[in-house]
Structure 1
């Protein structure tokens, strides 16, 4: 991925965070209301910005390119979330993933340890790489991405995303 593409990804993410912060009060949501657990307490943070500078592929394919991701999530009552990520896929194609998910905090009694599972629609694996992801139709395919993370501070975390049998993605998250 070129520096200009990375710059565009970062700009889109920064504008998304700025827009969400400037135009949202404590009760407005961008995610559909049905995703929130009714009656659950409001989350401690409004959202999370995620950046991934590195993905480790399990296979050594000479066609693989560097994968860089930026994402923004909205945190919802009941430890649920929804969001969008912009990334360059393993073959250098601009891609997007729109998702909803659940976070599981305090894993094994460790307050800093958490897991997330997201599911949604991904777009970006187009010719000649349309067969590199399952159930792809004209670049669109369903995706489920589990991850584990560790909270470094109240706002900062590191996360490891499991990309099926293809790769592991390393990322940093900043809650706001």
Structure 2
């Protein structure tokens, strides 16, 4: 046991010198180009925007418009989560899952365009999306145009937004003549 203890510092020094020799040899033989390429390669999530809309504002109270609708209807709490891919500088595609104004789970798959109309304000953008919406089912299927009894329809949603920096932004989605939805966005770069 005593011999192992006295040999310990020399064994440690020998192991350390061997490790340093291997590290120096691999540093001399390895090509630094792949490391640089890997650092420059964007993330798999690069170009994806994730949005959350915790609040909306309706222009008017919910009211009965058709005989088959409930007599005492009120707007339910509305929220939205969204994933959107930037296809190029102008084109986008995405999917949103939300709770509609009548408490029904709903989905929206879309394609759209984003414009930055003012060179003097490059952070300001206008967005228009169009696609398939599902979730406004009977008895609320007539609350949005171009929708069937089972909740399937097509729609277009314009938005006005502003990017605070390269990752964070906000937008206001215009929901026809029903209201607006306020949304916070995070974009992966």
TM over 0.5: yes
> Residues 51-62 of structure 1: matches in 2 within 5 Å?
51-61=52-62, 62=73
Task: Say which of 113, 116, 124 aligns to 1:102.
Answer: 113
Where does residue 83 of structure 1 map in the other structure? Answer: 94
Distance apart, 1:118 and its partner CA: 0.3
TM-score, scaled to structure 2 = 0.68
> Residues 23-42 of structure 1: matches in 2 within 5 Å?
none
Q: Name structure 1 gaps, 5 residues minimum.
A: 1-24, 30-44
Query: d(CA) in 1 for partners of 2:119 and 2:76?
Result: 36
Query: d(CA) in 2 for partners of 1:27 and 1:156?
Result: 17
- Contact kept, 8 Å, 1:81 with 1:102, in 2: the verdict is yes
| Gap change, CA 1:106 and 1:153, over 3 Å in 2 | farther
- Contact kept, 8 Å, 2:146 with 2:155, in 1: the verdict is no
Count of aligned pairs between the two proteins? 137
Higher percent of residues as helix: 2
Aligned alpha-carbon RMSD (Å): 2.0
Query: d(CA) in 2 for partners of 1:47 and 1:107?
Result: 23
Q: Name structure 2 gaps, 5 residues minimum.
A: 1-40, 63-72
1:91-143 Cα distance to aligned partner (Å, 9 max, x none) = 00000000000111253620111111000010000011111111111211111
Q: Which runs of 4+ in 1 moved over 6 A?
A: none
Query: d(CA) in 2 for partners of 1:108 and 1:60?
Result: 39
Where does residue 179 of structure 2 map in the other structure? Answer: 167
Query: d(CA) in 2 for partners of 1:135 and 1:105?
Result: 29
- Which of these two proteins has the greater Rg computed from alpha carbons? 2
| Gap change, CA 1:170 and 1:129, over 3 Å in 2 | same
1:144 matches 2:156? yes
Query: d(CA) in 2 for partners of 1:151 and 1:26?
Result: 20
Where does residue 85 of structure 2 map in the other structure? Answer: 74
Where does residue 48 of structure 1 map in the other structure? Answer: 49
Distance apart, 1:52 and its partner CA: 0.1
TM-score, scaled to structure 1 = 0.73
Distance apart, 1:27 and its partner CA: 10
- Contact kept, 8 Å, 1:130 with 1:139, in 2: the verdict is yes
